[in-house]
Amino acid sequence: MRYAIVGSDEFITIATTRPETILGDTAVCVNPKDERYKHLHGKKAIVPMVNREVPIIADDYVEMEFGTGCLKVTPAHDMNDFMLGEKHGLEVINMMNDNGTISEAGQLYIGMDRFEVRTKIAEDLTASGNLVKAEDLINKVGFSERSDAVVEPRLSLQWFVDMKELSKPALDHVMNEDIKFFPSKFKNSYRNWMENIKDWCISRQLWWGHRIPAWYSADGSFVVAKTQEEAIREFQSKGIAADATSIRQDEDVLDTWFSSWLWPISVFDGFYKKEEIDYYYPTNDLVTAPEIMFFWVARMIIAGYEYKGDLPFRNVYYTGIVRDKQGRKMSKSLGNSPDPIDLMKIYGADGVRVGMLLSSPAGNDLLFDESLCEQGRNFANKIWNAFRLVNSWESKVQPDAAQSPAAAVAVRWMQSRFNTVLTQLNDDYEKFRINEALMNTYKLVWDDFCAWYLEMVKPPFGSAMDKTTYEASVEILENLLKVLHPFMPFLTEEIWQFLRPREEGKGSICLATWPTPGAIDEQLTKQFDTFSEVVIGVRNIRKDKNIPNKEKVKLLVKTSASADTTFDAVVMHLCNIESIEYVDDKPGSCYSFVMTGTEYFVPFTANVDVEAERAKIQQELTYLQGFLKSVESKLNNERFVSKAPADVLEVERKKQSDTLAKIHMLEEQLASL
RNA sequence: GGGAGCAUAGCUCAGCUGGUUCAGAGCAUCUGCCUUACAAGCAGAGGGUCACAGGUUCGAACCCUGUUGCUCCCA
């Protein structure tokens, strides 16, 4: 469109996608550096159709390369134009009604819809010779999420809360960690928001909500009051005439967060009653989504300090957002959320719960995948089967049966192991590493309890179970149920009830106390590590050499240290070994494996492939020699030796000596084959 | 436009103060097993240029700079 310049026959051309808004134009703006328009600074232009004279102003805001480099300014109908208007003291003409039709202030097309006017005004501009060119282009237009109407910026009167002073304590107390965020990375965006906080617009043009308690009198002044009667008294005390017919309440309602920010207080009815809020406030943990950190969390903290003079909660745990496999947020409107009830029918409530939690690291999104629920169900099934096994022993218990050495060490180890993991779990929870707590619980139950402990104490087919081991097993399982309970409330309750008779009405696992870690036997832990490697070593030999599990084998041990027989009974039990013998000399004709300072031998059975044995040992040798080389190159590096701390050096030297010893043993073996 | 964050195995993620074999887990994959709690299971195995390019350091997935790609929040 072209705008005539006052006092000359020159025109200035401006591009717009909303030509109807020229009815509200109050300036034309160019970039001060733009040579094309320098001579126009301070002059006036005539807005077409309404023939209003408006100033031509200069501002850096205008991009010279965009469009014609010349901007029409409509402060009432564009946010950036509004800012220009404030800066340059421009007139504001609100040319649109709130139903999207042209208002009286627009002068022309009054009462017509804005889209009709857009077409009509193009015709009229053409007729008057002011339309230079029309072209199709694609631009970004906002649509209402609910009604799908095109959003039209329009100047309106709103209520704001001055946040500057109000928000200061909320920033400080999060920065100094009086209130902790998990994960802490959210402190950064919180600080950025709080340091640049804007006043809070609290009025909304909606039908439903808390209505703004502001009242206007006939002369346009206002008061804030709880009721109409109070408002009238308030007006009268100011000497303003007011009665029920002459005053009216603001029709706007409050932003939904304006009640939510009081939630930590109002949930205890804390503005009116003392008893509950005095007991509970401040609470411990708030669990919520990071996307409402500003809307809700920040404002609850602000309100807490403002109205209670204290923090509302100590920790804020931000969960991830559940997304579908395409990465889209799961939402009701998209309909991409699976029905949890259907999932529960397939995987069980606990299975679905575990599946979700397994992959929900704090602050990261979770891409929902049904296979996670399947994993949860499998875990539940595993626990149930473990219970079935322990439970089956009840009838096999013989009071006078002696506890086997294997079971005795297994119980001691499992108790110690439980305490180790429990300590870890407590730390995980302390740091809100919920999914790690779950994974550690999962491994404690599946690997330590089911795969190792139960196998170690399981009596051979047809044998009796002794009372000591049975009772220890029940107690261990009870403790496991307690740590599982937060993740699998239903299953653990069910088993809890079956495991022992419980007192009517008082026997729920919900009422059980979280276990406290007992002693950890470090020595036993180390012995177990060796033991488990021996078991794996024997299993590998059986597998590689096709020695059936049913066939008993012998195990020979040659060790430079004194023999440690703590776990021997368990090795025999788990690997079907008829005897373990400690020998001084390397036996011939054996399969073997090596661990630090100790060699293990299983005598050849039928069908030995000596060549294959040799190749295997050679392969391991090659690897160890390469490793030794890398360690030694480090140790031969003078700069490493002189600068690295003593303990790091010590570790490297130990690696060197261990490796040398291993290589020596393997070479001997190779020679003896 | 302003701000924050992320990039490690096929997938989802750990890796906390730079230092225990050029990296761990779960799932998935592959190979063997219906071994008396569990095949929804058991025993094993393979799989990685830690986005890319520089730099600092005796030593970098980790610290610094740049590049690329992605995500979120605000206006």
Per-residue flag: A648 CB under 7 A of strand B: yes
Instruction: Kindly list the distances between the CA atom of residue A357 and the CA atoms of A161, A424, A425, A437, A581, in Å, as whole numbers in the listed order.
Output: 39, 18, 15, 10, 48
Q: Is the pLDDT of residue A388 over 90?
A: yes
Q: Measured CA to C1', what is the nucleotide nearest A293? A: B73
Per-residue flag: A188 CB under 7 A of strand B: yes
The SS3 call for residue A393 is helix
- In this prediction, what percent of chain A has a pLDDT beyond 70? 95
Quote the pLDDT of residue A608: 58
Q: Measured CA to C1', what is the nucleotide nearest A532? A: B43
Q: Is the pLDDT of residue A449 over 80?
A: yes
Residue located via tokens 């402060």: A75
Per-residue flag: A424 CB under 7 A of strand B: no
CA nearest neighbour of A445 among A491, A467, A476, A411: A476
Q: Is the pLDDT of residue A177 over 80?
A: yes
- In this prediction, what percent of chain A has a pLDDT beyond 90? 39
Per-residue pLDDT tens digits for A391-445 = 999 988 998 889 988 899 999 999 999 999 999 899 888 888 888 888 889 999 9
Q: Is the pLDDT of residue A384 over 80?
A: yes
ipTM for this model? 0.89
Per-residue pLDDT tens digits for A191-210 = 888 888 888 999 988 888 89
* Cβ-based contacts (< 7 Å) between A 590-609 and strand B: none
Per-residue flag: A194 CB under 7 A of strand B: no
CA distance A191 to A167: 11
Please indicate whether residue A534 or residue A625 has the higher confidence score (pLDDT). Answer: A534
Per-residue flag: A259 CB under 7 A of strand B: no
Q: Measured CA to C1', what is the nucleotide nearest A546? A: B32
Per-residue flag: A269 CB under 7 A of strand B: no
* Spacing of A615 CA from B1 C1' in Å: 67
A569's tokens: 């009974």
Q: How confident is the model at residue A300 (pLDDT cuts 50, 70, 90)?
A: very high
Please indicate whether residue A471 or residue A549 has the higher confidence score (pLDDT). Answer: A471
* Spacing of A489 CA from B69 C1' in Å: 42
Q: Is the pLDDT of residue A612 over 70?
A: no
Is the overall model pTM greater than 0.90, yes or no? no
Per-residue flag: A90 CB under 7 A of strand B: no
Q: If you average pLDDT over residues A231-255, what whole number do you get?
A: 93
> What are the two backbone dihedrals, phi and then psi, of residue A219, each rounded to the nearest 5 degrees?
-85, 5
Per-residue flag: A616 CB under 7 A of strand B: no
CA distance A645 to A657: 19
Q: Is the pLDDT of residue A609 over 70?
A: no
Q: Is the pLDDT of residue A618 over 60?
A: yes
Per-residue flag: A158 CB under 7 A of strand B: no
Per-residue flag: A221 CB under 7 A of strand B: no
Quote the pLDDT of residue A333: 66
Quote the pLDDT of residue A664: 79
Least confident span in A75-89, A334-348, A442-456, A614-628: A614-628
Q: If you average pLDDT over residues A267-291, what whole number do you get?
A: 92
Quote the pLDDT of residue A550: 78
Residues contacting A166, CB < 8 A, separation 6+: A302, A306
Q: Are A297 and A260 a contacting pair, CB within 8 Å?
A: no
Q: If you average pLDDT over residues A489-505, what whole number do you get?
A: 93
Per-residue flag: A540 CB under 7 A of strand B: yes
Q: Is the pLDDT of residue A148 over 80?
A: no
Q: Is the pLDDT of residue A322 over 60?
A: yes
Closest alpha carbon to C1' of B25, residue: A439
Per-residue flag: A630 CB under 7 A of strand B: yes
Residue located via tokens 């049975």: A470
Q: Is the pLDDT of residue A610 over 60?
A: yes
Neighbours of A268 (CB within 10 A): 19
Neighbours of A615 (CB within 10 A): 10
Please indicate whether residue A50 or residue A139 has the higher confidence score (pLDDT). Answer: A50
Residue located via tokens 């509200």: A24
DSSP string, A114-130: HHHHHHHHHHHHHHTT-
Quote the pLDDT of residue A467: 94
Quote the pLDDT of residue A493: 96
Quote the pLDDT of residue A198: 85
* Cβ-based contacts (< 7 Å) between A 340-359 and strand B: 358-359
Q: Are A495 and A384 a contacting pair, CB within 8 Å?
A: yes
Q: Measured CA to C1', what is the nucleotide nearest A351? A: B40
* Spacing of A555 CA from B41 C1' in Å: 28
Long-range contact pairs involving A530-537 (C-beta distance under 8 Å, separation at least 24) = A530/A564, A530/A567, A530/A595, A531/A566, A531/A567, A531/A570, A531/A571, A532/A452, A533/A595, A534/A567, A534/A571, A534/A595, A534/A600, A535/A571, A535/A574, A535/A575, A537/A593, A537/A595, A537/A600
Closest alpha carbon to C1' of B40, residue: A378
* Spacing of A321 CA from B72 C1' in Å: 11
Q: Is the pLDDT of residue A146 over 90?
A: no
Q: Measured CA to C1', what is the nucleotide nearest A380? A: B40
Per-residue flag: A543 CB under 7 A of strand B: yes
Q: If you average pLDDT over residues A361-378, what whole number do you get?
A: 78
Per-residue flag: A644 CB under 7 A of strand B: yes
Quote the pLDDT of residue A54: 93
Per-residue flag: A629 CB under 7 A of strand B: no
Q: Is the pLDDT of residue A138 over 70?
A: no
> Which nucleotides of strand B lie within 7 A of protein CB?
3-6, 11-14, 19-22, 25-28, 32, 35-38, 40-45, 57-59, 71-75
Quote the pLDDT of residue A326: 64
Q: How confident is the model at residue A589 (pLDDT cuts 50, 70, 90)?
A: confident
Residue located via tokens 């999962």: A442
Q: Is the pLDDT of residue A86 over 90?
A: no
* Cβ-based contacts (< 7 Å) between A 289-328 and strand B: 290-291, 294-295, 327
